[in-house]
Amino acid sequence: MESNTAIKVGGTTISPGQRVTVDLPVADLYTSTSLHMPVQVICGRKPGPVLFVSAAIHGDELNGVEIIRRLLKRKALKSIRGTLLAVPIVNVHGFLNQSRYLPDRRDLNRSFPGSAKGSIASRLANLFIKEIVSKADFGIDLHTGALHRSNLPQIRANLDDGATLDIAQVFGTPVIINSDIRDGSLRACAFERGQPVLIYEAGEALRFDEISIRAGLRGILNVMRHIGMLPALKNPKKATPVVAKSTSWVRAPDSGMVSPKVKLGNSVQKGQKIAVITNPVGDVEEAVVAPFDGIVIGQSNLPLAHEGDALFNLGAFKSVPRVENLVENFAAIHDDDPTPT
Ligand SMILES: [Zn+2]
C-alpha cells in the first residue's frame, strides 16, 4: 500500500501515522518571556492532500480557536488520508492582549507574505507562510466580525478559481461572498501561489457563538470529506449555498443612539425602516432605511453611532426568499447538532 510522505515543520519531521504538536518560536515578550505558535500536525498513514486550518490571525477573533479545539478531538482524525496542519492561534501576541493587532498596531492580515527582517507582523507572516502555507494544498482560515460586530456565518473566497469555488460550496454556509482580494492578506498571498483558501467569517470578536462554532466545525469536516481526507458520508445533506451579487454597508445618517429593527439573517426590503437613531433627549428621531432588497449578513452590536458609522452589512441576492429559507434551515440544523463539544 502506498504511504503518505513525512512532513517537516519547524525542524521537526513528522512521519506517516504520527501526531505531534510543534511549537514554532515567535518574538519574545520584552520581559524576556519566550512565546511560541502551537501547531498540531497529524500526518495520516495514507497519502492525500495537505490542509491547513488556522485561527486568530486577528488575535481577538476567538470562535476559530474553539472550532480547531473541537476539530482536534474528533476520533476520525486518527485515520485521515494526507496531512492536517492545525494552527489555533496564529497571532499569539494579539491573542494575549485580546487585540486584533500585533503590539506595533499592525494588522497581520495586511502583512503577508512578510519578511524575515521586517516588522513583528511581517516576521510572523513570513514564518506562517514558510512553515505552514507553503506546505499545504488547501487552507481554511477562521475569522469573526470585528469588535462589536457580528457576522452571519459566511464563506469569503475567490470564486473565479474553480477549485476554490468547489470547496466553498461544500463548506455548507447559506451564503458565499466573492470578495475582493486585499493587498497583504493571507488570501491574496495564497491566491498568488495558486492555493485554494477559504475564509470562514462567523460571529463577533471576543465572544464564543455556539452556532458559528458548530457550523465552522461541520464545514471543515465537509471540506475534508470532499478532498478525500475523510471518507464521504453515505447520505450527505446538501443545501447549495447562494453567492451574493454584492454586499454593502448601510451607514448611520446621523449621530445618536441606535435601535435596530432587524436581526442578523433577516431579509429586508428596499425602503424598509431597519433602525431608528435618536438623540439622548429623544426629540429627534431619524429612520435608517434599507437601500435595496437583501439579507443582513453583518451587524453592529453597539447601540451608539456617529454619523457615517457602519450599522448593517446587507447582501444582495438573485432570490432573497431562497437565502432566507437557507438561513432558517441552517440555524435549525446547527441548533440541535449532536456534534460533541
Ligand atoms: Zn479577522
Q: How far is the CA of 42 from the centre of ligand 1 (A)?
A: 25
Q: How far is the CA of 143 from the centre of ligand 1 (A)?
A: 4
| C-alpha to C-alpha distance for 178 and 322, rounded to whole angstroms | 19
| C-alpha to C-alpha distance for 335 and 173, rounded to whole angstroms | 14
pLDDT at 1 (0 to 100)? 72
Q: How far is the CA of 53 from the centre of ligand 1 (A)?
A: 14
Q: Across the chain, how many H-helices and E-strands are there?
A: 7, 19
| C-alpha to C-alpha distance for 188 and 178, rounded to whole angstroms | 13
In a 3-state reduction of DSSP, which class is residue 103? Answer: coil
42: confidence class by pLDDT, cuts 50, 70, 90: very high
Q: What is the pLDDT of residues 180-202, one digit of tens each?
A: 777 899 999 998 899 999 999 99
pLDDT at 238 (0 to 100)? 74
299-328 mean pLDDT: 94
pLDDT at 179 (0 to 100)? 78
Q: Which residue has the cell 476554490?
A: 164
DSSP state string for 273-339: EEEEEE-TTS--EEEEE-SSSEEEEEEE--SEE-TT-EEEEEEE-S-HHHHHHHHHHHHHHHHT---
Q: How far is the CA of 88 from the centre of ligand 1 (A)?
A: 13
For residue 333, pLDDT beyond 90: no
79-89 mean pLDDT: 98
Residue 4, φ and ψ in degrees, nearest 5:
-70, 160
If you average pLDDT over every residue of the chain, what do you get? 95
| β partners of residue 142 | 55, 200
For residue 239, pLDDT beyond 80: no
pLDDT at 339 (0 to 100)? 59
pLDDT at 287 (0 to 100)? 97
b/e per residue 210-246 (b: at least 16 CB within 10 A) = ebbbbbbbbbbbbbbbbbebbeeeeeeeeeebbbbee
| C-alpha to C-alpha distance for 119 and 308, rounded to whole angstroms | 32
Q: How far is the CA of 89 from the centre of ligand 1 (A)?
A: 12
Q: How far is the CA of 18 from the centre of ligand 1 (A)?
A: 31
pLDDT at 62 (0 to 100)? 98
Q: How far is the CA of 131 from the centre of ligand 1 (A)?
A: 21
Max Cα–Cα distance, the chain, nearest Å: 77
Q: What is the pTM of this model?
A: 0.96
Q: What is the pLDDT of residues 115-151, one digit of tens each?
A: 999 999 999 999 999 999 999 999 999 999 999 999 9
pLDDT at 289 (0 to 100)? 98
Q: Which of 284, 279, 145, 283 is nearest to 206 (CA)?
A: 145
Q: How far is the CA of 227 from the centre of ligand 1 (A)?
A: 25
3-8 mean pLDDT: 97
91: confidence class by pLDDT, cuts 50, 70, 90: very high
pLDDT at 224 (0 to 100)? 98
pLDDT at 163 (0 to 100)? 95
- The set of cell numbers assigned to 238 is 446538501
pLDDT at 338 (0 to 100)? 61
244-254 mean pLDDT: 96
Q: How far is the CA of 144 from the centre of ligand 1 (A)?
A: 6
Q: How far is the CA of 99 from the centre of ligand 1 (A)?
A: 11
Percentage of the chain beyond pLDDT 70 is: 99
311-338 mean pLDDT: 88
Q: How far is the CA of 29 from the centre of ligand 1 (A)?
A: 23
For residue 341, pLDDT beyond 60: no
| C-alpha to C-alpha distance for 81 and 88, rounded to whole angstroms | 21
